[in-house]
Amino acid sequence: MKRLTGWLTRPFNNLRLREKLFVMFLLGAIIPLLFFVSYSYQTVKSELSDQMYTNSMSSVAQINSNLENKLDTYTKLSATLYLNSTLRAYLTTNYSIDPSMYVDAYQYINSTFTNMLTTNPDIKSISVYINNDSLPTDDIFIKRMDDAFRKSDVYLSLLNTYGNVRFVSTPPVVDQPSMFTLARMLNIGKLDTVYGILTINILESDIYRLMEKESSDKTVLIVNERGIIMSTKDKSMLNRPLQQYITTDFLDSEEGRFDSTFNGEKMLVVYNTTKFGWKSVSLVPYSSFLSKANNTAKRILVYALISFGLMALLIYVTARLFTKRVEYLVGIIRRIEKEEFDFVDIRPLGRDEIGQLGNVLRKMSQRLSTLISDVYKKEIDKREAEMNVLQAQINPHFLYNTLASISSLAIRNSDPRMNKMVTDLAKFYRISLNKGKSRLSIHEEIQLTRYYVAIQQVRFGDLIRVQYQIDESVLPSSIVKLTLQPFVENAMNHAIWDDQLGITIVIKAYREGPDILLKIIDDGMGMRMSGKSPHELPEGGDTLSGYGIRNVDNRIKLLYGESYGVSIYSRLGIGTTVTIRIPGR
């Protein structure tokens, strides 16, 4: 997770401060602005949708009420024929005995049905399908209940209805107005004794008038209990399933609302159910009642963009003014880093935090310049002077010439010991002087120590025994010149306590982690360390050799840092161990 966070924030961290401020201020301005615009639009949209739902629900409820009254009227008309005992008698009489009797029947049927059609202009036709083969049919009012009719939707819809009314969609007929059919089973006494099927074809336009005023800015549909469209403004949709246009299935619920798409446009669909099972469905385009909200949202967005542009300009100017002073201070700090104090002249930057930082930086640069001049440079000059004095104490050319003369004199007098001693001394100084350089490789430092030991063995003979345990991997590493020799010299001059046994010195060099350790271990008389840390140096350390033991420690710390240097551990009568720690690079 931390790696992923770092990967995401790395590009932002690499931006300049001005760009970071601009981005953050910009996000801080645009996010609330976008939230405000979105919240305002969604709130208005929700309120308008709820208001439109309330209005549409009231509208469909009114349409349902009118539709129920209209269908009740048709039901009552059918009831007058259903309960007409004279009509029943004419339709059930056996006319095979006296065929002339059916004339009276038709006179009554024609008179009754014609009067009903005249008083109800919305009724297109009335017919009765009979199964009385003795009564001739005129195929207008009286029709035969043949096999074709028994397979029709009208007949099938009346199965198990026991005289109840059914409204059935009527297939469209070319050059005929749209209609739907009221169907009712006619029976005598017993519900299962059917003597005819009454059908009343009603003009769809009579139903459409109930919702015509509501169809100006929305689509209103009337569907039956099976979801077949019975009436609407677009007549091409009649007698088709509503799911052909709206995929949401809502026929099982009484009333409600949902969002859908109709003719490629998002709609608010509101519906309610009549007692006959028919539903009034209102499809309201969102664009019709959200147009004002959309226009308002567009105006708000335009104002927001203008405000956003002004904010971006102000934020950019503010960020530039802020970061310009910061960049100026960064330039001053870089000059201070380069010790160009003569060019550091910080102008007033105001009284805010940046101005205060500039004032503090001005005082700090002046103080730092004084410290470098008074302490650092003086200390460097002092150390350089000391090194120059030490170097100046020996004139290399004079020394080499003198040693060469002594060596020639020793050879002339047949004194090989003196010749070897002088030769080793010359090699010792040749390495130690090192053309004025302050550092040698560990290999050269050990060689220098070997020459020094060889010179001293001429003096002490077998009393001096030196062993070397050197890890060859450390030989190329560099070390301060004359690091080992002062401690070897100190052991020879001060640690021998028995003139018969002498002293054994072990010189080690090896790696320990990232560092290199050099140790000079002797089995001499040792010294008291009570009250002293193992890292403390003994008193008089500066006078024990030419450079001095303390001088070695100071030079190592000066070159490598305070975590490096010399530590001594000694026990009286046992011996002394000197540890020198330097970096392993």
Six-digit token string for 95: 């006319």
Greatest mean pLDDT range, 30-34, 410-414, 429-433: 30-34
Report the percentage of the chain scoring pLDDT > 70.
Answer: 76
401: pLDDT strictly greater than 80: no
What pLDDT does 144 receive?
Answer: 92
Q: Collapsing DSSP states into helix, strand and coil, what is residue 437?
A: coil
**pLDDT (tens digit per residue) in 329-379:** 777 777 777 666 665 666 666 667 666 776 777 777 777 767 776 666 656
Quick one: how many helices (H) and strands (E) in the chain? 15, 17
Contacts of 528 (CB under 8 A, 6+ apart): 570, 572
Distances (CA, A) of 341 to 327, 348, 359, 376: 18, 17, 15, 15
Geometric angle at alpha carbon 44, from 39 and 48, rounded to 5°: 150
Alpha carbons 155 and 147: distance in angstroms, whole number:
10
Examine the pLDDT at 228 and tell me if it is beyond 70: yes
CATH classification for the domain delimited by 66-207, as one of 3.30.450, 1.10.3470, 1.20.120, 1.10.760: 3.30.450
CATH node for 437-583: 3.30.565.10
pLDDT class for 520, splitting at 50, 70, 90? Answer: very high
**Backbone phi, then psi, for 95, in 5-degree steps?**
-90, 5
pTM here is 0.48
Return the exposure string of 109-130: e unless at least 16 CB atoms fall within 10 Å of the residue's CB, then b: beebbeeebeebebbbebbbbb
CA dihedral 235, 236, 239, 240 (to 10 degrees): -140
Cα(34)–Cα(430) distance, rounded to whole angstroms? 81
181 CB neighbour count, 10 Å cutoff: 21
| Pick among 3.40.190.80, 3.30.450.20, 3.40.50.1820, 3.40.50.2000: CATH of 208-288 | 3.30.450.20
β-pairing, 515-522 vs 256-262, is: unpaired
* Residue 322 host element (H or E): helix 286-337
Tokens of 414: 């047949």
Band (pLDDT 50/70/90 cuts) for residue 262 is confident
Report the mean per-residue pLDDT for the chain. 79
Percent of the chain beyond pLDDT 90? Answer: 18
CA angle, 73 then 116 then 229, to 5°:
50
Question: How far is 199 from 196, CA to CA, in rounded Å?
Answer: 10
List, in order, residues 6 or more apart from 54 with CB less than 8 Å away.
none
pLDDT band (50, 70, 90) for residue 458: confident
Mean pLDDT (whole number) for 293-314: 77
Could you report the per-residue pLDDT of 90-99, keeping only the tens digit for each?
998 888 888 7
Which helix (H) or strand (E) segment holds residue 204: the answer is helix 204-208
Is 60 exceeded by the pLDDT of residue 161? yes
Residue with tokens 């003719």: 263
Half-sphere exposure of 111 (CA within 13 A, CB side): 8
pLDDT one-digit tens code per residue, 108-127: 999 999 999 999 988 999 99
Question: For position 545, what pLDDT does the model report?
Answer: 42
* Tally of CA atoms within 13 A in the half-sphere of 548 that contains its CB: 13
Residue 357's Cβ-side half-sphere holds a number of Cα atoms within 13 Å equal to: 11
Report the distance separating Cα 568 and Cα 579, nearest Å.
6
| Cβ(520)–Cβ(484) below 8 Å | yes
Higher-confidence position of 506 and 501: 506
pLDDT tens per residue, range 467-491: 999 999 999 999 988 889 889 988 8
Which range among 148-162, 261-275, 509-523 has the greatest average pLDDT?
509-523
Separation CA 286–CA 46 (nearest Å): 11
